[in-house]
Chains A and B, each alone.
Chain A
Amino acid sequence: MKVAADTGALISLKLSGILEKSLDFFVYLIGEKIKEELEQIAATPDELGEAARDILSLIGRGVEIVKTSGHEEGEYEALEILNRIADILISDDIKFVKAQRDERISFSTFVLFFLYKKGIFDKREILRTLDSIFKKRKWAENLIYVTAKGLIEKE
């Protein structure tokens, strides 16, 4: 499945340790703007920087660069990729997802749910994965993943 992804969604997947595991099922398509954003983050000497460097190292091996018409914001570049060639778009920008109201657009937790439903992760592993990401960010930044946790706990 071809997935257009924005910077935040890729970082979330990397931090939660599921990006590499998802590459058997998904190809992530990004444009030059998102590559540029990742390069900026990669320049920082912290955990986010390390995550961005790891994502960039996957270019050509599951993360592919797509030429676009040029955009100021990564989300809209991803939207162009969705409308041209991708099956879905993942973004953790709540305002963007809310504004689009498009069923092809999901939060990055879709990938987590897919791997869970596919049996790649069991419930315990998923909850452990989610707890590990919570330690790295504040609750507001974790809102999407906190919600995913509540849903999986309910299962």
Chain B
Amino acid sequence: METLGVRLDTRTKRGLEIISKVMKMSPSKWIAGLIAENLPKAIEEVKSEIICSYVRGEISKEELREVFGDDAEDIEFVAEKTKEDFKKAERTR
């Protein structure tokens, strides 16, 4: 298990305490569940941005594979081929 420190404003923290009291679990456990439930959807929404970051060289092949799994192979191929096409367009013009 990893620990992620998150700063919350007083109102949010108080709300979280009330929720955890009702749910009968610790605030951090409730938040961890919420993140686990919503992270895949959030990642899905930013996948396009992750691909752009990979093409711009801001994230590594390994990071790409961690997010996309088996799909990373196609993304790597498309990125390489697209770079070739970009150079080809320059030569063709």
Contact = CB atoms under 8 A, between A and B. Distances in A.
A48 interface: no
B52 A149 contact: yes
B82 A147 contact: yes
Q: Top 7 A-B pairs ranked by shortest CB distance?
A: A150-B55, A113-B89, A150-B52, A114-B89, A110-B85, A117-B93, A106-B85
Interface in A99-128: 103, 106-107, 109-110, 113-114, 116-118
A109 B52 contact: no
Interface of A: 1, 94, 97-98, 103, 106-107, 109-110, 113-114, 116-118, 134, 139-140, 142-144, 146-151, 153-154
Task: For chain B, give the interface size range.
Answer: 20 to 34
A2 to B, nearest CB: 13
Nearest to A118: B93
Contacts of A147: 51-52, 55, 75, 78-79, 82
25 contacts: A94-B78, A98-B74, A103-B84, A106-B84, A107-B81, A109-B82, A113-B88, A114-B89, A114-B93, A117-B90, A139-B44, A139-B47, A139-B48, A139-B51, A143-B78, A144-B82, A146-B52, A147-B78, A150-B52, A150-B54, A151-B55, A151-B83, A153-B52, A153-B56, A154-B55
A153 B51 CA distance: 12
Contacts of B48: 134, 139, 142, 146
> What is the interface of chain B mostly: helix, strand, loop, or mixed?
helix
A97 B77 CA distance: 10
A151 B80 CA distance: 11
Nearest to A134: B48
Contacts of B81: 97, 106-107
Given A150-B55, A153-B52, A154-B56, A113 B86 contact: yes
Contacts of B86: 113, 151
Given A107-B82, A114-B92, A143 B56 contact: no
Contacts of A1: 92
Contacts of A142: 48
Interface in B19-47: 44, 47
